[in-house]
Amino acid sequence: MRILLVTLTELLPFALSQVLNQDLDYRAIVVDEPDIAKENLDSDSQLHEKIFPIYELKECIQNNDYDALLFMWEHPTSWYSLIEQIREYGVPYNKFININFSNATREKNFLLERTLRYYKEHAAEFEMFSTGGCYAALGLDNTKFRYKLFNLGKGSQDLYYDCQVAKFLFEQNSRVGGRLKYALIGLAPFTFHYDASKTSYVCSMLQYCVALNDLHNFWLPIEQYKKLFCEEFLSTRLPLENIDLNNPFHQKSSSPKFMTVDARVNMRKRIDIWTKTKSYPETVKQNVKNLDEYITLCEKNNVRPIMFMPPLTEAYMRYFDKEKLDECYSLVNQLQKKHPSSVFFDGWKLEGFSDEYFSDADHMNTNYAAKFSAMFNSMIENFEKMS
């Protein structure tokens, strides 16, 4: 496969020797410090002449024939600005592969596999689980719930993968005669329009390749995707010891505790991201089927499905596209009518969540998680009393 590789100089030696397939055909390698990158390679390496500085990224994209641009960068320091440049230079969706990979974050590609493996060994201990994107990951505090919660919410995850994860959990729960009572299904106002496998500029698909052997609608077939990497790298398995069940994907520890000035300035931009650039209207019907299948799985396993949408900042709730929000509510309502066992906990109707509970327009801090989870737990307990 012909590759245009974009990465950090410090990552290049490790990527070439221990991550990527030795048979890849590199048309260009774009780095931040080309002289140092060349020094780090063997003196007789044929790659010397293919290394270019980052300021020549545009020319490398436009002057080379390549099957895929493989982007391995540090998140989030220089990540977003470089992604925007790559888009501007005309790299299409079906030639872009993003790998969340740096010295600090390379293990994130294997955290989902580790988390599912942990559940497989401890399935009998849990009475609830939750899925969803970053809102579920950051918005729930395991310590505030009466029942033991396993939180599988993770950034940029969509309904399709939520459902695949739920299937795995139900299989393990049945295997051990488990005690699951509730499935907390995290939603967002854009949920039905979102497809993680089509948002490769943001979501690294490597985690789903490793954990589920499933790339869903990604443009590259999974067998070809695997050929990008050496077998030893794909078989990496993180140890189960010291896993933090309240932060299994390390998102809470990296989330700012307070909203900065920059975050306030970029509020409307973040809202537009989810309203426009990460919106795939053609996937709405499929996501309705995904959620329908998810709820049906809950019913077959005698687990009560509770859909929930956490509150977001006042700015987000005010400026998010009203048509999409109304559509979201309508689709949830239709599914509730089809599945009377389901419950919907709408955090947008809650009061008392000022900007101090958020790190930006739509990401919550730990104070938010504690408060919202306590309210969520009270809702479940009140529901049980009324049942």
Q: Give the Cα separation of 28 and 47 in Å (integer).
A: 9
Domains: count for the chain:
2
- Chain centroid, CA 108 distance in Å: 10
With beta carbons less than 8 A apart as the criterion, state whether 45 and 110 touch: no
Give the residue from 86, 104, 122 where a domain finishes: 104
Low-confidence ranges of the chain (pLDDT < 70): 74-79, 102-105, 252-261, 263, 265, 273-279, 352, 359-366
**Domain for residue 46, yes or no?**
yes
- Chain centroid, CA 308 distance in Å: 18
The gap between the terminal CA atoms of the chain, to the nearest Å, is 59
Q: Give the Cα separation of 277 and 200 in Å (integer).
A: 12
Record the tokens describing residue 226, joined without a space: 């695997």
Amino acid at residue number 102: S
Check whether residue 126 and residue 274 sit in a common domain: yes
Q: At what angle do helices 322-338 and 284-300 cross, to 10 degrees?
A: 30
Give the residue from 60, 77, 104 where a domain finishes: 104
Closest by Cα among 196, 152, 156 to 173 = 152
Q: pLDDT at position 368, please?
A: 77
With beta carbons less than 8 A apart as the criterion, state whether 293 and 163 touch: yes
- Chain centroid, CA 38 distance in Å: 34
Check whether residue 141 and residue 26 sit in a common domain: no
**Domain for residue 229, yes or no?**
no
Check whether residue 191 and residue 43 sit in a common domain: no
Residue-by-residue DSSP string for 52-115: EEGGGHHHHHHH---SEEEEEE-TTTTHHHHHHHHHHTT--GGGEEEEE-STTTGGGGGHHHHH
**Domain for residue 343, yes or no?**
yes
Check whether residue 99 and residue 119 sit in a common domain: no
Check whether residue 46 and residue 82 sit in a common domain: yes
Are β-strands 96-100 and 182-186 bridged in parallel, bridged antiparallel, or unpaired?
unpaired
Tell me the CB-side half-sphere exposure of residue 272, using CA atoms within 13 A: 4
With beta carbons less than 8 A apart as the criterion, state whether 14 and 77 touch: no
Q: Give the Cα separation of 257 and 245 in Å (integer).
A: 20
Tens digit of pLDDT for each residue in 236-288?
999 999 899 988 888 766 666 666 667 676 777 777 766 665 667 789 999 99
Q: Give the Cα separation of 137 and 130 in Å (integer).
A: 9
Check whether residue 65 and residue 153 sit in a common domain: no
Check whether residue 16 and residue 143 sit in a common domain: no
Q: Give the Cα separation of 253 and 259 in Å (integer).
A: 15
Q: Give the Cα separation of 31 and 321 in Å (integer).
A: 39
For residue 31, what are the β-bridge partners? 53
**Domain for residue 163, yes or no?**
yes
Check whether residue 38 and residue 145 sit in a common domain: no
Q: Give the Cα separation of 65 and 335 in Å (integer).
A: 47
Q: Give the Cα separation of 317 and 155 in Å (integer).
A: 20
Phi, psi of 362 (to 5 degrees): -145, 10
**Residues with Cβ < 8 Å from 365, sequence gap 6 or more?**
138, 255, 256, 257, 258, 357, 358, 359
Closest by Cα among 331, 348, 196, 164 to 274 = 196
CATH number, domain containing residue 329? 3.40.50.1110
Residue 65 CB burial class (10 angstroms; 0-12, 13-18, ≥19): exposed
| pTM of the full structure | 0.91
Check whether residue 122 and residue 96 sit in a common domain: no
Give the residue from 104, 126, 151 where a domain finishes: 104
Check whether residue 331 and residue 290 sit in a common domain: yes
Check whether residue 58 and residue 187 sit in a common domain: no
**Domain for residue 379, yes or no?**
yes
**Domain for residue 306, yes or no?**
yes
User: 34 lies in which domain range?
Assistant: 2-104
Q: Give the Cα separation of 187 and 118 in Å (integer).
A: 24
